[in-house]
Structure 1
């Protein structure tokens, strides 16, 4: 009886391992198709961006009951009224920053941590701020568990950026703002780039690409988008 029990346990173990391997292979195939049909086919050519999105397991950054849709062509809810962006938007915004391996990046709106993980595969360091405490805690644990050690999460109001880590080579804002926060412009290096959705709440916004020159700020509207609002800490004075 003991021998049968051990054999049964061993059989179950190998079945589970085989199922896990098959599941990971299936996710890898879905990820490859996502990059090919949703990202490359729409004009994303930056190789570091494509490589990062091919290697970051998007299904690990969505709720378990949504993992079957992780590689679909659209945003997904992640709880607390927040979403994980459509893969194409992730790719587009990442490419727009023209990241290099030496760059220090600030992200406002960590969410599930997926965008931070993509950025961390390209840049030297990523500092990401999430105002929703539950999401910040979960994202921090997830990024650490998955080995994205150069993505550092802070819980708080992202309006004022992360001054002690500034200046940044690039800044990405993944929540819709009514105007570009001045502290973020101040923390952007000369020659740096920022991408941010700007416009009235509950309406279509413009994704704005900002380039900081020595003597001026250049702003370019690049596409209409919909994003969840840039949330502020109501317990503190707004600037």
Structure 2
């Protein structure tokens, strides 16, 4: 009988103790975190961790996805990315790294349409199932290599990389509309920065790096050489 109340309390605590202190103060974003049920996007084995300040594995340790480090980002990181990107109701969004589909659900609740790319077939299906169960109709999951983007459906108003990269590929920047913006977590451990790029013209971009965090790598993005001469 207490389960719904316990979930409600845990969600409240997540918002008040993790997310607000991380300067997520947009009332629409906070209301969205109440409405989109994060626990419904967490694998059953980790459901108890749905509101904990940590990354949540999306596969068991023996599975290929887990070996790649695929996980849900910490709630405060998801919320801050959503707030700072500020997708609008008329916009089309491309997400790289669907994971469980939770970030796509948040984006779809703000934007007109979301395409989310997932390289792992099992995770692509998981995201598809979760979004369908949640009644999200304007987010489409595609199994694809996100490092290439999806030029055929671009340009996009918003591009979000739901994980970290050493650097943002020019191929993705080229898929932004003029005035569009991209967010990614860029760098190498232990120093990574939330990086926001706005396309200001056909060949010009403005970049800001307002906060630091660390996140697992997205698959198939170029890595720096480990050899030094």
| TM-score after normalising by structure 1 | 0.83
Query: Are 1:127 and 2:127 matched, yes or no?
Result: no
In 2, the alpha carbon distance for the partners of 1:124 and 1:51 equals 18
Cα deviation 1:39-91 (Å, max 9, x = unaligned) = 12332122222121111111111121211111111211111221111111001
Question: Which one of the candidate residues 66, 72, 75 is aligned to 2:55?
Answer: 75
**Aligned-pair CA distance for 1:203:** 4.2
Counterpart in the other structure of 2:29: 49
**Per-residue deviation, 1:116:** 0.8
Query: How large is the RMSD of aligned CA atoms in angstroms?
Result: 1.8
For the 8 Å contact 1:104–1:169, the answer to whether it is kept is yes
Higher relative contact order (CA 8 A, sep 6+): 2
Corresponding position of 1:40: 20
- Pairing 1:63–2:43 present: yes
Unaligned stretches of 5+ residues in structure 2? 60-64, 223-229
Would you say the 8 A contact 1:48–1:122 is kept in 2?
no
Q: Report matched runs for 1:135-174 at 5 Å.
A: 135-174=123-162
| Greater than 4 Å deviation, 4+ residue runs | none
Within 2, Cα distance between the matches of 1:45 and 1:195?
19
Count of aligned positions: 213
Counterpart contact for 1:93–1:195, Cα < 8 Å: yes
Equivalent position SS for 2:3: helix
Q: TM-score, normalised by structure 2?
A: 0.87
1:90 and 2:70 are equivalent in the alignment: no
Structure 1: gaps spanning 5 or more residues = 1-18, 235-239
**Structure in which a larger fraction of residues adopt helix:** 1
Asked whether 1:209 is paired with 2:189, we answer no
Preserved CA contact (<8 Å) 1:176 1:199: yes
